Amino acid sequence: MSQPNEKLIDAKQKLARDKAAKGIGTGHDSPHQRDRLPAGQRLVSGWPVLDLGLQPEIPVNEWMLEVLGAAQRQVFSWADFLKLPQTKLTTDFHCVTSWSIFDSRVEGVLWSDFMAAVKADPHATHVMFHSYDGYSTNVPLKDLNEDPQAMLIHSWGGAPLERIHGGPVRGWIPSLYAWKSAKWVKGIEFMLKDKRGFWEVRGYHNHGDPWKEERYS
């Protein structure tokens, strides 16, 4: 398939708008206590696949990661990316559609190590992740910098990240709902002010903290 699945996108957008209109899942105060399973989530055994109906295939020798926006432009090839410090972590992952998975063994580059390798404008406040399927998602730099598990991953469960899950490289931000973890990442844009990404303009919450149930807005 070479076109996004518009029916699916419209249905998800409608669901988000309906819930938001009823005040469901629009966020609530919570002491930021990190119950391991956030409210409204259930643990699943497999790892579901969600996308826009496109699963781009990018061979690693063609894969590139561009740093753009309020930063010195930089392009990482696959080899460049693997030269950055590599870290293995075991983390949880929570999707707004209510599934959660525990104990994913992931490997890749910690956000803090990525930041050390790029020259971002110190005034940048947000990042837009851009993907090979046309997807995008915005994340405050504060969340990335304060999540010690925020990464760009290339491996999951001890094997290369499968294409269906965003390989060669995807974002991995366990402190936010999974839609903030862009699959098939091709660009990281530093921004001096916030701008909404693909789902954020279609009724999803702008922030997406699972422990505050920031699902829709």
Ligand X SMILES: Nc1nc2c(c(=O)[nH]1)N[C@H]1C(S)=C(S)[C@@H](COP(=O)(O)O)O[C@H]1N2
Q: Note the residues at the interface with ligand X (CB under 6 A).
A: 47-52, 95, 131, 133, 135, 165-166, 178-179, 181-184
Q: Under a CB-based contact definition with an 8 Å cutoff, are residues 118 and 177 in contact?
A: no
Q: Under a CB-based contact definition with an 8 Å cutoff, are residues 170 and 65 in contact?
A: no
Round to whole Å and give the CA distance between 136 and 11: 18
Interacting residues with Mo ion between 113 and 172 (CB under 5 A): none
Burial class of residue 93 in the structure, from the number of CB atoms within 10 Å of its CB (0-12 exposed, 13-18 middle, 19+ buried): buried
Per-position x/- string for 44-83, each x denoting binding to Mo ion as judged by CB under 5 A, each - no binding = ------x---------------------------------
Task: Work out which of 179, 184, 211, 216 binds Mo ion, going by CB under 5 A.
Answer: 179
Beta bridge partners of 153: 108, 170
Tell me which of Mo ion, ligand X, none is bound by residue 52, counting a contact when its beta carbon lies within the kind-specific cut-off of 5 to 8 angstroms: ligand X
**Nearest distance in Å: CB 172, ligand X:** 10
Round to whole Å and give the CA distance between 199 and 181: 12
**Nearest distance in Å: CB 176, ligand X:** 11
**Residues making contact with Mo ion (CB under 5 A):** 50, 95, 179
